[in-house]
Amino acid sequence: MAVAQGAPRRGALVSFKIPRGRAASLSLYVARRILWLIPVLFFVITITFVLMHFAPGSPWDREGKQLSAAVIRNLNAKYGLNEPFLAQYVRYLVNVAHFDFGLSFQYEDQPVSSLILKSWPPTAVIGLLAFVMIVIFGIGIGVVAALRQNTWVDYAVVGFSTIGASTPAFVLGIILIIIFSVTLYRITGGNFSLPTGGFALDQHLILPVVTLATLPIAFIARLTRASTLEVLRQDYIRTAWAKGLRERLVVTKHVLKNSLIPVVSALGPTFAVLITGSVIVESVFAIPGIGRAFVVAVGSRDYPMILATTILFSVVVALANLVVDLLYTVIDPRVRLG
Amino acid sequence: MAAATAVSLEQIDWENPEQIGLWQDAWQRFRRNPIAVAGLIFVCLLLLDALVAPLLVSLHLIADPLKQNAANSYAGFSLQHPFGTDYLGRDLLSRVMFGARISLTIGLTVQVIYLLIGGTIGLTAGYSGGRVDNLLMRFVDIWYAFPDLLFLLVVVSIFQPSLFVIFGAIGIIGWVDLARLIRGQVLSLKEKEFVEGARAAGSGPTKIILRHLLPNTLGPIIVSLTFGIPRAIFLEATLSYLGVGIPPPTPSWGIMIQDGNQAIFAYPHQVLVPALALAITMLSFSFIGDGLRDAIDPRMRR
Amino acid sequence: MAAPLLRVEDLRTQFFTSRGIVHAVDGISFNVARGETVGIVGESGSGKTMTAFSILRLVPDPGRIVSGRIMFKDQDVVQMNDDDVREFRGNDVAMIFQDPMTSLNPVTRVGTQIDEAMTAHERFSKKEAEGRVVPLLQKVRIPEAAQRAKDYPHQFSGGMRQRAMIAMGLSNEPELLIADEPTTALDVTVQAQIIQLLKQLNREVGAAIILITHNMALVASLCQRIIVMYAGRIVEEGPVEQIFDSPQHPYTWSLLRSVPRVDVARIERLVSIKGLPPDLVRLPPGCKFHPRCRFKVEKCEREEPPLEQVAPDQMARCWVMMRNVPQEQREETKAGEVSHQAATELKQAGSG
């Protein structure tokens, strides 16, 4: 009787015959990567929790007027800070599994999860808009610069990406404010200018999104340009021309299909950059998003809030990297899923 | 007895291989890059400024950056205050000049921490190989996964921000790239056939290895450290801007930008001056880094 | 006699670099008849590859065809506009390249790349093209062709990749196939197979083949005629047996003497060609080969010889001609030059 493909051999202890076909190995790879998320998250949570717990001073220290001992005792009891460390740790882990991140130290009686739910929309909107801009403009100008190498277009793109990649986001944001809010205001006699802050689904979005997207656009443009230039020199592009293919076909199916591979790979870390950037941009433009909530929590040592946002950021970054890595295995057939 | 034995090899001088010229060669190429040179000039001026600023204050050539004068706040440009004053009446020019000291100190010193931590881990991982390497690289990957600014903020929330804490925090976070790089270099060195050959040949192989290998491996390391400087400067400035960095009244460009933000509509120069100082400093170091990278890697052609 | 398929007339291709003008192809003229197999031989820098690129108008920047005509049937390729060139490439004339590893798109399936070569031109409909892919792979003797068509290049061996490239080249039934060093990147055994394949295809399909190589042995296996190039010029051409039997140009003669031959009765010493290939920016005056030629006379340093007929069908560019060189002078090796044979003898004498 023939043994079915993939079934364990008789007598073998545990034998997984890898099923033929890339689809099967792909799903195994996906499963492995998702499982790998768990120890990473665990690590992040543990480290942050430990650091917070053993931090010098108590979270109730206030500048100036100190709280009375009785109040502090009550607070400690309320937040369970009197329990032994391990108990707190385990309780926290259990709670997190139920998406309960505790109560905020700052805004007493407010569960952290509701605070997060309230503040994530502006961050998401600006972040997503910025991401779209990055993909369209970053890749777009990178490709154009490579195809028109050594023309003014190329020099402009290279100049822009060099400066854009080295200018910190908050400097850029402030300069943009000065130009488009202050100066425009003065020039148009108070009639028109872009708002300096606040969140709304209108022109309030322009400056923050531009500020957030500029640095990643510069990076992606530079990478795309370099990768495309590299591919253009390859022999198989010459083969494509020798076959008599039209220019558009050569560019899309041969040049871009190869040159965009490292770019897609780089979009994963771009998410991390966007998160970091949103912290800064929300502070510069006074946007009530998670980034600014995080900064405020840091300033007032609201540990549950800090912990929760840290976990959230890690999850987003890890997921983004995972998606990108998976995408990469699909677009590059040479990659071994080992 | 062989008649005219034609073949005669040139005497190869093993003691003094031409490779020493690698550095001169790189410097030549660097010199020809106008942008990189411009960056270098600016950085030198900055260094000069950082060293000389306290001297200038004691000689009364520039004002004391800490001296407040509420009556004179938001003053415009004048001979006494070439850049004006801030909201507490402090001279902007000297504060900017002193801000360079903070930025440069952090930028440069943190590289040492990077080298110590990153170098140790990278060397260990590279030499040991196998399990140790795997473990260390997993650790590095996890560390790398988390955005540096955010972790920095977390650390700063725990410990009172001070110069020392910020040093340490920035250092502990940013060593990853260097570790990866050094590990890669060590691994590729292990593979090189001429290491085998030199070992087999005997006589002074270590010297040859050091003379040939070291220049090639040092290059990318120096480039990485150069790029690490603006990153560190940026992180410190961001922390200060967010209010959780160097505590006042020490003038850091980040704090100055935050302070100036309050009156940005009326006196934009309060913000522009430190902002430009920060941007140009970071740009200059980036230009130097780019220039070094191009100069050291002969395969790069514009 | 039928009109030649390809007529190259006084082709000049130059590269405009910061160092100066590189004269890659410096006045080449030759013909290729229908179904003929021609070998173009020379060392690196002789201009043979650039000649091939010029025929397909693939000369890369900063190079340009500066003058001359390339007549394919009755059209001048040099004067063609971009659309006509595109139609011409891969269709009337196809080219296969040296390194099959890097000459195929790594992220596209092999079958798709062959299909694409056909759909780029109007010759076959989409369906027809798709149907031709597997038979083409079979024609170049790739086993399990139907399965292989769905594979990616990195799953092929070197020899198989080159066969796939040949299939791609032949997909539009071109009348001329140019093979630029098709075996240099392959193992020796595989080399022989590829050359055999080309020979069979030439017989079965009737496409003319230009084989560009530095390897005389390959030319002997495949070609009917041989053109020898040096410093961007033709220095000798003629039927293969005739040239191998009595080469007239010293360069051709040296090339033949630098390869061990089993077909020659008397045992000759292997001879190396001293010196380096010429700098194509600053060429020497007179005959371009004279700095490395052991049979030169005074005139060679002053005046460049023209291409002259030395036998029916055979042309050579030399003032001296090998048939005028006495036997003793041919065997003599000057002091300072070492031939392989001589070196072996010396070593044996020393240790004995």
Q: Mean pLDDT per 10-residue run, chain C (352 residues)?
A: 85 90 91 94 88 93 91 91 91 91 92 93 88 92 91 90 92 92 86 89 91 89 93 92 90 81 60 76 86 85 89 90 80 48 53 44
The sheet carrying C6-17 orders its strands as: C20-32, C6-17, C63-72, C75-76
Q: How far is C100 from chain A (nearest CA, A)?
A: 9
Q: State the maximum Cα–Cα separation within chain B, in Å, rounded to a whole number.
A: 103
Amino acid at A31: A
What pLDDT does C57 receive? 92
Classify each residue of C313-337 as buried b or exposed e, where b means 16 or more C-beta atoms within 10 Å of its C-beta: ebbbbbbbbbeeeeeeebeeeeeee
The sheet carrying C308-311 orders its strands as: C93-96, C176-180, C208-213, C37-41, C225-230, C233-239, C314-316, C308-311
Alpha carbon distance A282, A329 (integer Å): 35
| B 1-60: CB under 8 A from C | 1-7
Alpha carbon distance C119, C96 (integer Å): 18
Alpha carbon distance C304, C295 (integer Å): 15
Q: Which residues of B touch A56 (CB under 8 A)?
A: 158-160
Alpha carbon distance C263, C246 (integer Å): 14
What pLDDT does B17 receive? 45
Q: Where are the alpha helices (DSSP H) in chain B?
A: 21-31, 34-58, 92-128, 130-145, 148-158, 163-174, 176-191, 193-201, 205-241, 253-261, 269-296
Backbone phi and psi for residue C252, each to the nearest 5 degrees, phi listed first: -60, -45
Mean pLDDT of B84-110: 85
What pLDDT does B6 receive? 38
Alpha carbon distance C288, A220 (integer Å): 51
Condensed to tens digits (0 to 9), the pLDDT of residues C166-177 reads 999 999 999 999
What pLDDT does B300 receive? 44
> What is the pTM (predicted TM-score) of this model?
0.81
Work out the mean pLDDT of chain A and round it to a whole number.
81
Backbone phi and psi for residue B53, each to the nearest 5 degrees, phi listed first: -55, -50
Condensed to tens digits (0 to 9), the pLDDT of residues C101-148 reads 899 999 999 999 999 999 999 888 889 989 999 999 998 989 999 999
Alpha carbon distance C75, C6 (integer Å): 10
pLDDT > 60? residue A135: yes
Contact at CB, A236 and C103, closer than 8 angstroms: yes
What pLDDT does A3 receive? 37
pLDDT > 90? residue B151: no
Instruction: Give C347-351 contacts, CB < 8 A, sequence gap 24+.
Output: C349/B1, C349/B2, C350/B1, C350/B2
Backbone phi and psi for residue B77, each to the nearest 5 degrees, phi listed first: -75, 135
Contact at CB, C152 and A258, closer than 8 angstroms: no
What pLDDT does A156 receive? 93
Mean pLDDT of B133-143: 79
Contact at CB, C349 and B2, closer than 8 angstroms: yes
When pLDDT is cut at 50, 70 and 90, the band that residue A37 belongs to is confident
Contact at CB, B7 and C338, closer than 8 angstroms: yes
Contact B155, B169 (CB under 8 A): yes
Q: How many other β-carbons are positioned within 10 Å of the β-carbon of residue B124?
A: 16
| A 184-213: CB under 8 A from B | 185, 196
Alpha carbon distance B19, A334 (integer Å): 38
Alpha carbon distance C220, B154 (integer Å): 76
- The shortest CB-CB distance from B2 to any of C336, C337, C346 is to C346
Q: Classify residue C89 as left (phi > 0), alpha (psi -120 to 50) or beta.
A: beta
Least confident piece of the model among A260-274, B257-271, C187-201 = B257-271
Q: Which residues of A touch B156 (CB under 8 A)?
A: 298
Contact A193, A162 (CB under 8 A): no
- Give percent above pLDDT 70 in chain A: 87
When pLDDT is cut at 50, 70 and 90, the band that residue A9 belongs to is very low
pLDDT > 90? residue A115: no
Work out the mean pLDDT of chain B and round it to a whole number.
77
| Cβ–Cβ contact C184 with A under 8 A | no
Using an 8 Å CB-CB cutoff, list residues of chain B that contact chain A: 142, 145-150, 153-160, 230, 234, 237-238, 241-244, 257, 261, 264-265, 268, 271-272, 275, 278-279, 282-283, 286-287, 290
Q: Is B21 exposed, middle or buried (0-12, 13-18, 19+ CB in 10 A)?
A: exposed
Condensed to tens digits (0 to 9), the pLDDT of residues B106-135 reads 899 899 999 888 888 888 887 777 788 888
Condensed to tens digits (0 to 9), the pLDDT of residues A136-188 reads 999 999 999 999 888 899 999 999 998 888 888 888 888 888 888 877 777 77
Q: Is the peptide bond before B147 cis (omega within 30 degrees of 0)?
A: no
The residue assigned the tokens 């630029």 is C180
* DSSP structural state of residue C52: H
β-strands C6-17, C63-72 pairing: antiparallel
Contact C302, C286 (CB under 8 A): yes
What pLDDT does B301 receive? 40
The torsion angle over the Cα atoms of residues B152, B110, B35 and B50, rounded to 10 degrees, is 110
- Output the CA–CA distances (angstroms, integers) from residue C200 to A282, C81, C143, C165, in the order listed: 72, 35, 17, 16
